[in-house]
Amino acid sequence: MEMMAEPHGALKGRARVPGDKSISHRALMLAALAVGESRIEGLLEGEDVLATARALRALGVALVRDAPGVWRVHGVGTGGLAEPEEVLDLGNAGTAARLLLGILAGHGFTSFLSGDASLRRRPMGRVVRPLREMGAQILCRSGERLPLAITGRFRLLPIVWRSEVASAQVKSAILLAGLHAPGKTTVIEPLPSRDHTERMLRGMGASVAVEALPEGGQAISIEGEIELSPQSFTVPADPSSAFFPAVAAAVTPGSEILLEEVCLNPTRTGAYEVLAAMGAEITVVDRRELAGEPVGTLRVRGDALKAVDVPAERAPSMIDEYPALFVAAACARGKSRFRGLAELRVKESDRLAKMAEGLAACGVRCAIEGDDLWIEGGPVRGGAEIDAALDHRIAMSFLVLGGLARLPVRVRGAETIATSFPGFADLMNGLGARIRPLEASA
């Protein structure tokens, strides 16, 4: 499907973006491992999370959808999943693939995992290696990619694993495997990554300890072989999804929008801090807690933004927001520099290359230097046609840019937006954007 975004004026209004993707995946998976029935409201019903739901069903878990976003999950207990008859097709969802591998490592049967062309390109070695060390057998395609086969085992070996990348997916896979091992399993990460797994596990009765290390980084440990208690909660709105309207409003002087119940976990808010440093006025209206996470309504007021220099250490707290932040930088006055972006190359697409190519096609001066990207901001011409490359965030970023440029921007393959943000165009248009599907050409 092709979509087009046309230039818009100031954005106004209030909206709640769909539930957080990371929390939604974890809510389903951890509920499946609890003993008894969990009830989740506000679940993101995007393609990625539905892939997790389908996989859990194939593994013998009963999931009932009572109403839009309202799901009940009958947990089978850790180690209680059943061998799936079919290949588990995880579509576009890296989080589903990597976290499920952690769970499957602790089950003594064989599963086959695959996904779409984007997921089949993504590196799995970062989770495969520690899970092998814990005792799972995993056979992958060259480059340790999907499709792969995993034969887990009942009672894994607890390990101490030092991850080279600050990745919440790696950390979570090891912690979930650690649930199926006696004693203490530890994962060391070089910088703090999102901690939803740790929060949720604690809320369900697990003992999870975090220790800051003198040499930098942190060690996260879990005590295994415990019973998780079921939970009822509401999933907060996704700060990564909310960042698209936030950018559109921030760069348009005169805009004022309210984004409700956004997850404000400090491991997720780095990009909002950068946008504020660029000159946007961002305030939190009512701060409270939801599902063990800090949430709040964000008020974003637009202004003329200025360039920014973002150091590599900020990356984990804003990893999914870079594409939209690059759009803000393209519209800001001056030369912005974003450092240490290697991880962007292994997301749903090579986001570093795709964003630089697309921005250049829209008339923006920018260049990749090593793992850094610089962008010379100013009025943007637009007027390009961009291929989403099976990457929802590439699609949404360029549709946001189309609203801010002089000429419309078209995005091919925009159906990929449904992986994380169903209703994106309607929500944006409700605030004053002008995004619409184009008729399929005959």
12's tokens: 């106004």
Please list every residue from 168 through 197 that binds ligand S3P, using CB under 6 A. 168-169, 172, 193-194
- Quick check: 320 binds ligand S3P (CB under 6 A)? yes
Least distance (Å) between residue 243 CB and ligand S3P: 12
The two tokens of residue 228 are 């998780």
Q: Alpha-carbon Rg of the chain, whole angstroms?
A: 21
The DSSP output letter for 113 is E
Q: Does 319 bind ligand S3P (CB under 6 A)?
A: yes
Establish whether 320 is a catalytic residue.
yes
Q: Which is nearer to ligand S3P, 8 or 171 (CB)?
A: 171
DSSP codes joined into one string, 183-224: SEEEEEESS----HHHHHHHHTT--EEEEE-TTSSEEEEEE-
3-state SS, residue 416: helix
Q: What SS3 class is residue 313?
A: helix
Nearer to ligand S3P, 261 or 343 (CB): 343
Query: Which one is catalytic: 20, 195, 238, 320?
Result: 320
Q: Which of 359, 313, 305, 357 is nearest to 333 (CA)?
A: 305
Residue number of the CB closest to ligand S3P reads 22
267 binds ligand S3P (CB under 6 A): no
Binding mask 393-412 for ligand S3P (x = CB under 6 A): --------------------
Tell the burial category of 177 from Cβ atoms under 10 Å away from its Cβ (0-12, 13-18, 19+). buried
Any contact of residue 269 with ligand S3P (CB under 6 A)? no
Residues of this chain, 341-370, that bind ligand S3P according to CB under 6 A? 343
In the complex with ligand S3P, the residue whose CB is nearer, 21 or 107, is 21
Nearer to ligand S3P, 29 or 251 (CB): 29
Instruction: Give which of 277, 371, 283 is closest to 332, Cα–Cα.
Output: 277
For residue 167, state whether it binds ligand S3P (rule: CB under 6 A).
yes
Q: Is 22 a binder of ligand S3P (CB under 6 A)?
A: yes
User: Quick one: 180 or 194, whose CB is closer to ligand S3P?
Assistant: 194
**Count of residues engaged in binding ligand S3P, rule: CB under 6 A:** 11
First to last CA, the chain: 13
- Determine the Cα–Cα distance for residues 119 and 223; give it in Å rounded to an integer: 31
Q: Considering the complex, what minimum distance in angstroms separates the CB of residue 279 from ligand S3P?
A: 26
Shortest spacing between CB 170 and ligand S3P, in angstroms = 6
- 321-332 burial, b at 16+ Cβ within 10 Å, e below that, comes to bbbbbbbbbbbb
Given the rule CB under 6 A, which of 76-84, 167-175, 220-228, 363-371 is the region that contacts ligand S3P?
167-175
What CA–CA distance (Å, rounded) separates 16 from 67?
18
The residue (of 49 and 228) whose beta carbon lies closer to ligand S3P is 49
Q: Which of residues 80-119 bind ligand S3P (CB under 6 A)?
A: 95
Whole-Å CA distances, 141 to 97, 114, 123, 129, 200: 15, 11, 10, 14, 33
Give the binding site for ligand S3P (CB under 6 A): 22, 95, 167-169, 172, 193-194, 319-320, 343
Cite the active site residues: 320
